[in-house]
Structure 1
Amino acid sequence: MKTIRAKLCLVIVGLAIFASAAIFGVSQWVSSHMAETALTREVNGAQQQLKASIEAESRQALMLASLVAGDAGVRETFAAGDRDALASEFEASFADLKKNFGVRQFQFHLPPAISFLRVHKVAKFGDDLAGFRKTVVQTNETLKPVWGLEKGVAGIGNRGVVPVFSDGKHIGSVEFGLGFHENFVSTFTSQTGYPLAVLRPSDAGYDIIGNTLPDGFAPQALMRELAGEGSSIESGDYRITRVSVTDYSGQPIAVALLAVDRSAYQAIALTAQLTGIALSVLLLAIAGGILYFSNRTVLRPLKCVAGEIVALAGGARDIAVTGTERADEIGDMARAVDIFRVDAIERERLEDEHRRNQRARETRQQRVEQLIETFRATTQGLLSSVEETNADLQSTARGLEQVAAASAEQARGAAAASSEAAGNVQTVASAAEELSSSISEISHQVVRTTDIVGQANGAAQSTNEKVAGLARSAQRIGDVVSLIRDIAEQTNLLALNATIEAARAGEAGRGFAVVAAEVKELATQTSKATEEIASQISSIQIATEEAVGAIGGITGTMDEVNGYTAAIAAAVEQQGAATVEISRNIQNAAAQTQTVVKSIGSLDEAVGQTNQSAASMLAASTDATSKGRSFQEEIARFLKDVAAA
């Protein structure tokens, strides 16, 4: 009873059974009620016919009596007391009435109830009937006709008694009596078709006056049954009804058992019952057809849709949804399930794509972290090398200043010695040797300075290349961030489309709408994160460009220092040549004193230039150290921001 099919079957079958039972019950009740009503109406009609028949015979007796009482000759003869004349006049006609019309009594009475003439029994007259012939007494007392049943010596008769007047004077009464016996019962049954039994009370119970009941019906036994059952009983195909027969005064005088054939009504009721059964069976058949049609057109497609939903819930996506071509609610359900299937496929695709993007982001993040660590280590090494090189440059510049100062001092000494050269050649020779030694030392210092400057220049160029590589890496990171931003925007667009499709799906797409909203929120957060990363990358690119410019300045300064050291080297080389020339021409010192003085002047200028170059190199190395530290701080801040993003 958990499935819709079972519940629907139960409802349809229950309704069909209930309707069938209702139809059968109603038809049974209606048919029984109609049959009972019709039978009761017929019984009542039969009773009325019985009473009308009794009344008709009473009126027939009254009519005969009235006819005789209205005859003038009869009145005169009766008033004259001529019994024989009356007898002779009516004996022949009475015989005919008795034979053809069932007249049993015809007599004249003197008030109050003295028998004057019994036409049916002429020899008997003069007896007083007042003790048991109340109709005669009443007629002679009231001077009004009386008719109806009355019990007499010969039994119950249907009597009509009319007063007789002669010249306005009441002289007696005339009576006709019709027999109320077997003949009446037979006549009634033959005329109406209703079997009848008439019984009169007696000391032994009831005596049968007449009986036309079918065989097997005993009137006395029926009376005993009716005494305890009521006014009617059902027996076989008949309803036996007890009818009280009253006399002229309305008092019970006999009992009639009236039988009405109820087989026709039973047949009608049976026909109605069979019709109700047929209608019930037809209704059950219709219910079965409805159930079969519902199962074929509703329940089975619903079961298919439910199976497809279960399959979709179980992860199957390659199923073919049936019923989408239908135009009813099941078609709507099938189309909704198909939309759910398509959305599920799209959701899985988006989830797979999201997982791939997540893995790609994680991989890129790991790669970025590795690049950051590598870049941090590389820049730290490079910056350390730059600092060491700058320190060496500063040390070299200070040494160069000292050497330049010493060279200047020696140049001044050489100038003094040159002034005295004319007087003391030996002193000039010694000074020349010392000068040669100093120049040699200067040459070594210049070579060393040149080497250091070359190393610093190479380190600066290498640093410049690495910083340029860093700029390119930052540019590539910016490209990756742009790609991530594009993916986030596409994901946001897909989430928006999924939300729209979920809204179209209604209640079935509510869960997918929540997932689409979460995907949209994640895409929005990703877009914000990529914008922050893009901002940091932009800062890195700006800092990198500044570092490239600074290192470019260092490189330019190193180039200038290299030029200065080259000039110094050339000057020292010239000084060495001059010293050699002085040593070779020591014998000509006097003649060349002026030349030496000039050379020493040139040397003094070269030493001044060397001193200036050393100062410039010191300032450049100091500036390079400061910019290198700023660059290191900027790189550290950039790496921190990138790691935090």
Structure 2
Amino acid sequence: MVRHLTKWVQCGKQWLANRRASSQGLKLRSMSWHSLSTQAVLLLLLTCLAPLVGAGGYFAVSSTDALTKAAVENNDKIADRVANDVSGYIQNKRNFLLVTSGDEEIRSLNAKRLERYLKLVQPYYGGNELLFVADRSGRQVWRTDGLNLQNVAERRYFQEVMAGHVVMSEPVLSKGAGQLGVVGAVPIQGENKDIIGILGVVLPLQNLQVLLERVLSENPGYGIVVLNQQKVPLFHPGNAEAVKERRPLEEAYYTQVLEQKTGNLETQVRGQDYFLSYRPVANTDWVVVSLYPKDMALAQSQEMVRRTVWGIGVLVVCFLAGGFWAVRRTLQPLQTLMRGVQEVGRGKLSARTVCASRNELGELAAAFNGMTENLQQVVRETRKSSGDVLTSASFLETALEQGQEGSKQMAQSVEEIAARLEGQKSVVLDAAERLAEITRRSQEIVALGHVTEEKGQHCSNLAREGQGALFQTVSQLEETKKTVQQTRQYAATLSDNAQSISQITQLIRNIASSTKLLALNAAIEAARAGEAGRGFAVVAGEIGKLAVQSDEASGNIMHIITAIEASTVQTLETMEGTFALMEEGVAGALQSREAFLNIVDAVAQVHAAAGNIRSEAFRQNELCIETQNQVQEVKELAEESSNDVSEIAATAQQQAAAVEEMADTALGLRQLAEGLEEGVRKFEV
């Protein structure tokens, strides 16, 4: 019961501390970003804003990409149209020249006939461009503008046409009219298909400009540039001086245009972003470049993005206003519940919350009311029990003080008895240690006697084994002596045999020398006999070779026999030295055998004396062990008495400590009961 009351008191104190902290925390949270209202509004803002911003951004990027793609495609169409129009314009002029150059009137190169024919076909030509005819020397025969006839032999287009090519030249300055134009020329062929002149037309660049300006008027905002492979512009509204002066353009992107000829890119022109589309002009080396500002292409997209941003902002504001109203309406019951919690935290357990909602907040309010009622009942029971605990603790504290005094007196008496037993125990332990030392020394003497006896026995055995080994050594030396003497006789016999072989070998060498002389004489006689003695000469030669080989073999045998004789002499000398050493060894072994007999007798006497010492030491050791056992029993009795007294003293001390601890516990229990009663008074039940 005391433990339960203690836990209740601790729980009450912890609850009061938490109540103070929570009441302060509620005030702070209601005014901070951690409040539920603020978090709900922020969550609503993120939930609405993220999809809207994502969708708006995707729509803006998609619109920009689509408009960019459409602008590039439209720019490509403008470039295709201009390239096709210029190519068609030039192709019409070229076809006219090819058809007209084959007419008989043109081939005649007669001025009057040319004048009449050209005036006749010029209405069908459909233009006011200059037509002219020049002979093979380059001198103009006729021209439709009526100006002075010129010599065009130095013109490059004339040289290329006379080589058989159909030419559309670069812009040149007309000698008669004094204006820039493009010369188109075709060869005039005679009856033999040889080139007799050229038919040409001068296309003023002004006519090309009219054609291109018509396209620009239909597509405002676009720019068109026509240039050749040298980056010299034929048409450039923004740089008319470069067209007039035939000056190449310096922009780097024109190099890429001329290399690729077909394609599109995005670059900066005079500090502004432009879309460029470029296409080649058929039958020429010209390239048409169409330019369109990127800002104009994306102006509609930027306006759409601006409208989208405004729309998203309006939607976000509407969502926030509605969400804030909904959050406040939803969290209103929670604020009522929070006020009830604050009242309970201040100690008013009779406070109740009223919530008519049927959602989780209503269930939370009902649970809070139930918890408050249970806590109110616990406080009533605690208030009643704390008075009973306080009275019981006072009685218990008085009784424990009396028991503590008696325990102290008993502990002092036990300590005096334990001190006397410790003195007696020390005397017995001292005697036991000295007797143990005597016993240990006796055991060492017994062990040493035993070891001495074993060593003596071992020495005796070793002496007998040495005597037997010595006898065997003497016998082996005698046998070795006989063997060495017999080997010496074999070596002498080998030396005699080697001398006999040497004599025989010398005889063989003499015979081989005689055979060589006979073979030489036989060869001489065969040579005298001529053809009849040729076969005998061959046989005599073979006999001579055999005699030489026999002589060489005999020489080798003589060398070997000489080496054998030298080795045999050395062996005999060694055998003589060995035999003398063997004689000395046998004499020494006999002396050692006599000494070993004396050693064996001395070791036997030592072994007997060691046995007697070991027997006497063993009897002394048995007496010491018996005395030690008796002293050990006395020591054990003393130790048991001392242990019993120590246990009694420890028990008395534990009892005194337990009584003191119970007194402290009783004091603490009384203090806890007083604190519990003081804490319970703070609650209003």
TM-score by structure 2 length? 0.40
Bigger CA radius of gyration: 1
Flag the structure with more relative contact order, 1 or 2, with Cα contacts below 8 A and sequence separation at least 6.
Answer: 2
TM-score by structure 1 length? 0.42
